[in-house]
Amino acid sequence: MSSVKRHKALVALLGIIVSLTWIYPFVIIFFGSFKNRSEIFTNTLWVPQEIITDNYPKAYSNLEFTSSFLNSLFITTISLIVIVIFSSMAAYALARKKSKISTGIYFLCALTMLIPFQSVMIPLVSMFGQVNLLNRFGLIIMNWGFATSMSIFLYYGAMRSISVSLDEAAYLDGGNPLQIFWRVIFPILKPTTVTVIILNAIRLWNDFLLPSLVINQEGMRTIPLRMYYFFGEYTVQWELALAGLVLAIIPIILLYIFLQKYIVEGVTEGATKS
């Protein structure tokens, strides 16, 4: 076997090992969702000896899945719309208006990615409580704020690969800045927009800490907040928790599968400048 073929075989083997390492925890969750509580501990890593389908109806009921799913969907969807609209417009302005101020604002946005949420959560929740925004609308505003810096960073990098001549040609055709952005520039940013949506959707859908501080009230709870009730002080309903986890991750998996072809392109877009 030549060195080139041996190298390709090793890379393929490494890829398979890494893939199985990442996938197997999800396989354990899926198998565990069809087991009873005792078998989860006695037969953790393999297929269930007896398939128990009752876990899913019970988990669905205990999660109040319809209500919690709609809450998660509403908060995630509205947050993503706001994040995409304002982050893309902000990145466009910063990329096209070359000045020391715009450069400073961009680097300030990049630096804010280093600030952990835990360092600001107490004063933030206190401030929002004072203005009666500890609700879904307030949570959407917080999600928008925390996601803006990374989203601007991704959009700004993509903007650098788009020639300014497109703006100039559209301006000569009578377009104003808003029309130029939405009709000419934004459609080109589709891969980056998909990347922004995927990265933020995963975080927002699975977020527990921030919603637990802002909307931990009956009727407003999201799926992660409802999942918490499977983990009691003295006992854990593992069979229902695992079934609930499967139900919770299905929407994100479907979203990822639907949009995956754009992700790599969106992340690498802007690596080279035209």
**Per-residue pLDDT reduced to its tens digit, 182-224:** 988 999 888 889 889 988 998 999 999 889 888 877 788 899 9
Is 231 strand, coil or helix?
strand
Mean local confidence (pLDDT), 81-93: 94
Question: How confident is the model at residue 176, as a pLDDT?
Answer: 85
pLDDT interval class at 74 (50, 70, 90): very high
What pLDDT does residue 264 have? Answer: 61
- CA-CA distance, 210 to 125, in Å (whole number)? 9
pLDDT for 108 beyond 90: no
Q: Which residues contact 184 (CB under 8 A, 6 or more apart)?
A: 166, 167, 170, 175
Q: Is the pLDDT of residue 27 over 60?
A: yes
Identify which has the larger pLDDT, 196 or 263.
Answer: 196
User: Mean pLDDT over all residues of the chain?
Assistant: 86
**Average pLDDT estimate for 97-106:** 85
**pLDDT band at residue 1 using 50, 70 and 90 as cut-offs:** low
Q: Is the CB of residue 90 less than 8 Å from the CB of residue 82?
A: no
For the cut 50, the answer to whether the pLDDT of residue 273 exceeds it is no
- As beta bridge partners, residue 231 has 236
Q: Which amino acid is at 195?
A: T
For residue 268, pLDDT over 60 is answered with no
For the chain, the 3-state helix, strand and coil shares in percent, each to the nearest 5, are 75, 0, 25
Q: What is the pLDDT of residue 270?
A: 47
Least confident of 36-45, 162-171, 202-211, 226-235: 226-235
Regarding predicted confidence, which is higher, 24 or 264?
24
Q: What domains lie within the chain, and their CATH numbers?
A: 64-220+247-268 (1.10.3720.10)
CB 160 within 8 Å of CB 225: no
The mean-pLDDT minimum among 2-16, 38-52, 229-243, 260-274 falls in 260-274
- 273 or 253, greater pLDDT: 253
Cα 170 from Cα 70, distance rounded (Å): 41
